[in-house]
Amino acid sequence: EPEVTQTPSHQVTQMGQEVILRCVPISNHLYFYWYRQILGQKVEFLVSFYNNEISEKSEIFDDQFSVERPDGSNFTLKIRSTKLEDSAMYFCASKDSSGNTIYFGEGSWLTVV
């Protein structure tokens, strides 16, 4: 079964530091996403990425956040100047052109202290 892999699984960072969360989507997938889930809350959409550019982003995804696909395999989420309220589980997801199934990674748990 193909899978989306995310690293790190858990990161603790000081407030104000920059964090990069990494994802390797499934190899033939074309659509990539980041979602987040604050503890005890709903999963929230952050951003979608297609054809090497952002296709849609939520109001949460402000200038503090950026995404990049630096090579043919990795998809990264950068959070600049982290705040306490950025503490959450961040999920990467991908899907192919048929769009019937979206595959999620196991998540990266970010704790900002």
Among 15, 43, 54, 60, binds another protein (CB under 8 A): 43
- Nearer to another protein among residue 14 and residue 97 (C-beta): 97
What residues numbered 81-100 form the site for another protein, per CB under 8 A?
89, 91, 93, 100
In which residue are the tokens 């104000």 written? 16
Residue 2: asked if its preceding bond is cis (omega within 30°), the reply is no
Which pair of structure tokens corresponds to residue 6? 């995310």
Count Cβ atoms within 10 A of the Cβ of residue 77 and give its class: 0-12 exposed, 13-18 middle, 19 or more buried: buried
25 near another protein, rule: CB under 8 A: no
Distance of CA 92 to the CA centre of its chain: 4
Distance of CA 27 to the CA centre of its chain: 17
- Nearer to another protein among residue 14 and residue 62 (C-beta): 62
- Nearer to another protein among residue 95 and residue 112 (C-beta): 95
- Residues contributing to the site for another protein (CB under 8 A): 31, 33, 35, 37, 42-45, 48, 50, 55-56, 58, 89, 91, 93, 100-107, 109
